[in-house]
Amino acid sequence: MAAVAAAFAALLVVVPGASADLLTPESGGSPNANDIDTLYKITLYVAIVIFLIVEGTLIWSLVKYRLRRGGPEAAQIRGNTPLEMGWTVAAALILVVLTVVTFLYLDDIENPPASGPNGLRASQARFASIDQPEPPKSGGPILRIGVNGQQYIWRYDYAGGDQLFSYYEMVVPTDTTVVLEVTGSDVIHSWWIPELGGKVDGVPGHVNKTWFKIPESKAGRVFDGQCAELCGEGHADMRAEVRAVTPDEFEAWADRQRADIKAAGEALSEQRKQREARGEVD
Amino acid sequence: MEAGTAASRTARPEVVLHGLRTRPRGWLEWLTTTDHKKIGILYLFTTFLFFILGGVEALIMRLQLAQPDSTLIDPGAYNGLVTVHGTTMVFLFLVPVLAGFGNYLVPLMIGARDMAFPRLNALSYWLLLFGGIAFYCSFFFEPPQAGWTMYPPLSDDAFLPSGGVDAWIFMIHLTGISSIVGAINFIATIHNMRAPGMSWGRMPLFVWAILVYSYLLVAALPSVAAAVTMLLTDRHFGTAFFDPAGGGDPMLWQHLFWFFGHPEVYIMVLPVFGMVSEILPVFARKPIFGYKAIAASTVAIAFLGLLVWAHHMFTTPTPTVVLAFFMLSSFMIAVPTGIKIFNWIATLWRGQIVLKTPLYFAAALPGLFVIGGISGVILAIFPVDWQLHDTYFVVAHFHYVLFGGSVFGLFGGLYYWYPKMTGRLMSESLGKLSFWLMFIGFNATFLPQHSAGLSGMPRRIYDYSDQLDVGIYNLISSIGAFILGIGVVVTVVNALVSLKSGKRAGNDPWKGNTLEWFTQSPPPPNNFDVVPRVRSVEPMKDIRREVATTSVPAETVAQPAAPRSL
């Protein structure tokens, strides 16, 4: 037991520097993901200290006080009030510290900041909205996207004028605060792109919120994720992608996508008229 | 009230016997028994059978996940395995196996001749067995595929029309009634039937834990019983409790389920903590360190355990203030849990530790449980949970709690009490072999799963992408699972072989502290011909000391009427 525990302890101590992902969550795509990562690391360091103390004293006691010929008699101790009070208070204090640290980071994790200067401009972005119930701290345009989980695909509805939506791949501008309003249309799904922050459940009948803001330097990157709430046979295959592009590229994509949607709608209408003309529709 | 004193017995009316039923022989005796020891053994045998079934299901899943893009089983079957494995281990193994140990041990430990309601006790067992059979019958049509948490709308008839979910609901009802009836029986027994002199402060810590386990069952089970009934009427009778289209809400299920589901975790682990609190002092040749603190922390954990349920729901649409409340309540539960772990280590400290198999398993519990406890605190921080929720990090966390904690502890309990139940000792060499295989296999299985979760692998997926870079974690995990499986098989073989060939144990092979070691192994149907008067929390230690100093036989020492002062 000693050897295994020692190896594990060594692993815990050595690895955080060596590899980013072995012992810490994914991050790097958005400030909230980075803050969660930092908060997790602070907790992990506290945890490592507690782990080493507990395992150390346990293994040391088992080895040192094992029954040996001529060894000392077992000490008939029934308790030690100051010691017991001590470790109770110590445990409570550690938790108070963790509570304080959590609340220090909470605001930045939870509340979306304003978009950056190189983000989507309000004048350009007809679909950018500032009329949301909880505006970001310093106002400014943000991009709102409705995320709808369906067995077994994600649909994204961009807020604003002409209809703009997409499936599977979400295209977003960099340096822009993107607020997601997540729901599910059949069963519960959970939206999760690890590098862009925590997950939120899409519960039918509810709207759940999260946000991300991808830095300029990440333009051109694709962030992967998948549904994180068991939603049926296709759950493992319900993947999602977020493609970060520059605001100009985003504009171009949005125009193209809107045009395609419009063309598809017109084609559908045309088809219906033809079928009516042929007498195929009542 | 203290039963069995001479004065109270004469004051009562005489019971007149009108006839004598002959005791049936052979298998009929097992079918009709109301003896708490036989029922306890039926419980243990049945639940270990379910443990093996659940383990085989786990191994099939690990085989499927050993490599990315595996095609061994299809997604529907995998979701079925996920559901059946979780359900089996929670409802058909961990909760009832503790009822089994409790049934066997509680009357012996408190010096009673049976449980308060022996026939109700038999009912508890048979309801459990038939609940399990009803559930496993779903293999003949289609097992449920919505996970052991059975979240609607997925578990609604629109998405899972097959009867698997209904079999699950039926099982929850049958095992739920079984557990509630059993819990009431434990409560009545422990409150009323303790040996003379056994005040609350002298009650064995395992009995304390079973008492708290029983109260928790009574408090938590009605919530899940209500929830599954609502699910049943949603599925078949047109109600819409959980259907937003009809004005219902899927969140209601989650609240009702977890109001039961979180106390359930403590239901599954507190009695095992009690076992460890019995085993460690015996093998350290020391009294338990901080008896009162351990008993009090059991009560505190149970109380706080009723207030933390929504930490399973941190990613749902819920106001931040609610999330913060459940983070703080979850933090608070770490304090009494920490107290227990420190007390166990202090019990070992400066002892004379006899390194027998029960001690190996019991001492592994604090070492492994602390990992699950620490990851639990990390998960309680709700912004961090947003990243970790529903990933393999959580899978690793609760297996450290329920396998590293519960299963290791109760294997220690099996090795410790097996000689009392059978009259024979289990093999030490096989026991230690089993321990090391299980210890290494367990850590190899679940330690890498933390990393898989942190790298972005959700739980309950039949297949994962090669790009996720979690292949190596999963391969190690699958290899570890088979080592763990072999370790469990070694103990099963040990238990079966030792039944015939084990060394004879005698009344008290370990120099135990509690009353069950006073009687023969296995105990006679009436448990005790003489119920010893209890003068401390370690009555057997008092009796041994008295026998050693006065060379009077133990039976005489124990006579409650004997005029002697200890």
- Per-residue pLDDT at B168: 97
Q: Do you know the residue count of chain A?
A: 282
Angle made by CA atoms B515, B517, B523, in degrees to the nearest 5 = 100
Q: Would you place residue B415 in the very low, low, confident or very high pLDDT band (cuts 50, 70, 90)?
A: very high
DSSP alpha helix (H) spans, chain A: 2-18, 31-64, 81-110, 247-277
Q: Which residue of the set B459, B460, B535, B541 is catalytic?
A: B459
CB-based contact B377 A95, cutoff 8 Å: yes
Residue A281 has pLDDT above 80, yes or no: no
B337 is catalytic: yes
Closest C-alpha among B347, B444, B461, B431 to residue B404: B444
Mean pLDDT on A186-192? 97
β-pair partners for A46: none
B85 is catalytic: yes
Is the CB of residue A174 less than 8 Å from the CB of residue A214?
yes
Is B334 in contact with A95 (Cβ distance < 8 A)? yes
Torsion of CA B293, B307, B47, B364, to 10 degrees: -40
A1: contact with B, CB 8 A cutoff: yes
Residue A11 above 70 pLDDT?
A: no
More confident residue, A248 or A16: A248
CA distance A238 to chain B (A): 10
A88: Cβ contacts below 8 Å, ≥ 6 apart: B335, B338, B339
User: Average pLDDT of B480-504?
Assistant: 97
- Tell me which of A19, A30, A45, A78 to substitute to probe the interface with B (most B C-beta atoms closer than 10 Å): A78
Residue A188 with chain B: CB contacts under 8 Å = 151, 153-154, 250
- B287-296 pLDDT, tens digit per residue, is 999 999 999 9
Percent of chain A with pLDDT over 90: 71
The answer to whether B264 is a known catalytic residue is: yes
Contact assessment for residue B256 and residue B226, using Cβ atoms and an 8 Å cutoff = yes
Strand partners, A82: none
Buried b / exposed e along B188-197 (16+ C-beta atoms within 10 A): ebbeebbbbb
Residue B546, H or E segment = helix B539-550
**Chain A, nearest residue to B249 by Cα:** A205
**pLDDT of B129 strictly over 90:** yes
Which of these is catalytic: B36, B340, B399, B420?
A: B340
On chain A, the residues whose CB falls within 8 A of the CB of B353 are 61-62, 65-67
Instruction: Find chain A residues with C-beta within 8 A of B331's C-beta.
Output: 95, 98-99
Average pLDDT over residues B177-184: 97
Calculate the alpha carbon distances from B274 to A100, A255, B31, B207, B454 in Å: 34, 67, 30, 7, 33
B461 vs B475: CA distance, rounded Å: 15
- Is there a catalytic annotation at residue B236? no
Give percent of chain B with pLDDT exceeding 90.
88
**Residues in B touching A61 (Cβ below 8 Å):** 345, 348-349, 351, 353
Q: Which of residues 92-111 of A touch B (CB under 8 A)?
A: 92, 95, 98-99, 102-103, 105-106, 109-110
Q: Is A28 left (phi over 0), alpha (psi -120 to 50) or beta?
A: left
DSSP A201: E
Q: Which candidate in A62, A68, A88, A96 is best for mutational testing of the B interface (most B CBs within 10 A)?
A: A62
Helix, strand, coil % over all residues of chain B, rounded to 5: 70, 0, 30
* Strand ranges across the sheet with A153-158: A165-167, A153-158, A143-150, A177-184, A208-213
Residue A125 has pLDDT above 90, yes or no: no
Answer yes or no: B356 catalytic. no
Picking from A48-52, A67-71, B115-119, B195-199, which range would have the lowest pLDDT averaged per residue? A67-71
pLDDT of B371 above 70: yes
User: What pLDDT sits at residue A122?
Assistant: 58
pLDDT of residue A282: 64
B329 close to B307: Cβ distance less than 8 angstroms: yes
Which residues from B are below 8 Å from A34, CB to CB? none
Distance from CA of B82 to the nearest CA of A (A): 10
Smallest Cβ distance to A208: which of B154, B317, B341?
Answer: B317
Q: How many separate helices (H) and strands (E) can be counted in chain A?
A: 4, 10
Q: Is B340 a catalytic residue?
A: yes
Q: Does A185 touch chain B (CB under 8 A)?
A: no
Residue A223 pLDDT > 60, yes or no?
yes
The alpha carbon of residue B30 is apart from the nearest alpha carbon of chain A, in Å, by: 41
Angle at B56 between CA B55 and CA B62, to 5 degrees: 90
Catalytic residue among B148, B168, B291, B517: B148
Residues of chain A found within 8 Å of residue B153, distances taken between Cβ atoms: 186-188, 204
How many other C-beta atoms can be found within 10 angstroms of the C-beta atom of residue B349? Answer: 20
Q: How far is CA A259 from CA A249, A254, B51, B55, in A?
A: 15, 8, 59, 55
Cβ separation B348–A61 shorter than 8 A = yes
Q: Strands A239-245 and A222-226, how do they pair?
A: antiparallel
Among B83, B327, B350, the residue to mutate for chain A (most A Cβ within 10 A): B350
Structural tokens at position B341: 């772990």
Provide, as residue numbers in chain B, all residues whose Cβ is less than 8 Å from the Cβ of A206. 251, 316-317
Mean confidence (pLDDT) of chain B: 93
Partners of A250 in beta bridges: none
- Supply the pLDDT for residue B26: 84
> Cα A262 from chain centroid?
33
Query: Per-residue pLDDT tens for B135-167?
Result: 999 999 999 999 999 999 999 999 999 899 999
* B428-454 vs A2-18: helix crossing angle, rounded to 10: 10
Q: Is the pLDDT of residue B3 over 90?
A: no
- Round to whole Å and give the CA distance between B518 and B204: 14
What pLDDT does residue B381 have?
A: 97
* B397 in catalytic set: no
